[in-house]
């Protein structure tokens, strides 16, 4: 692909991908589009200062925050027995009177 085609594909991925992991893999892995856009060390150093790279990082962070917000927190703390005769539930004060 030409440089313009790679940049166009990066923009398409940014506009359509809804998974942080898939976006990261498509853009930032050694076989990803930014590697194709900048195969040499000098080119990679230059590409990280571009608006397109900044946009890609912002989109990745946005997707990560969305996915983190979907993680469920336990309603009640998870209590696991400690080794020996002392149990963790004895270490946590009971909030009920």
pLDDT in tens, 75-94: 777 777 666 655 555 555 55
Confidence at residue 88, expressed as pLDDT on a 0 to 100 scale: 52
46 and 6 Cβ atoms separated by less than 8 Å: no
* pTM confidence score: 0.70
Residues 50-77, mean pLDDT to the nearest whole number: 89
- H or E element that contains 59: helix 51-70
6 and 37 Cβ atoms separated by less than 8 Å: yes
Residues 7-14, mean pLDDT to the nearest whole number: 97
Tokens representing residue 6 in the block:
């790679």
Confidence at residue 7, expressed as pLDDT on a 0 to 100 scale: 96
| Predicted confidence band of residue 28 (pLDDT cuts 50, 70, 90) | very high
Q: Report d(CA 43, CA 31) in Å as an integer.
A: 15
């Amino acid at each position: 692909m030409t440089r313009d085609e790679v940049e166009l594909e990066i923009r398409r991925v940014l506009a359509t991908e809804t998974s942080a992991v898939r976006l990261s893999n498509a853009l930032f892995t050694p076989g990803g589009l930014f590697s194709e856009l900048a195969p040499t060390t000098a080119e990679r150093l230059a590409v990280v200062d571009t608006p397109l790279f900044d946009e890609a990082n912002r989109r990745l962070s946005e997707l990560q925050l969305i996915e983190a917000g979907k993680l469920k927190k336990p309603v009640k703390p998870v209590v696991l027995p400690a080794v020996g005769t002392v149990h963790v539930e004895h270490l946590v004060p009971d909030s009920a009177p």
